[in-house]
Amino acid sequence: MQHAKDRGIDVYWFTWNIFVWGTEGKHGLTEEGNNPETVAYVCASVRETVKTYPLLAGIGVTAGENMKKRTGTV
């Protein structure tokens, strides 16, 4: 990232899903968006990403791909 930063390029990390594949059931993690353990896991993951890549200009996240089917009117 330093190479990009030196050239005036900002690097952003985007992910279009929040999945816990391979971790379901471990330490209380589920794919439910309101599960406190899963929320803490995702927050810790983002925190560690920012600490690991301090030159990261931003993060974009959406859980749209892993949302359960909703019923009702929109």
At 16 the pLDDT is 65
3-state secondary structure of 24: coil
Question: Which positions ≥6 away from 17 have C-beta within 8 Å?
Answer: 62, 63, 64, 65, 66
- What is the value of pTM for the model shown? 0.68
Which residues are 12's β-sheet partners? 58
Residue 53 structure tokens: 């890549």
b/e per residue 41-63 (b: at least 16 CB within 10 A): bbeeeeeeeeeeeeeeeeeeeee
The tokens of 46 are what? 């983002």
**How much is the pLDDT for 22?**
77
pLDDT at position 18: 65
pLDDT tens by residue, the chain, 74 residues: 999 999 999 999 987 666 777 777 788 988 877 889 988 988 898 899 999 999 999 988 776 666 666 565 65
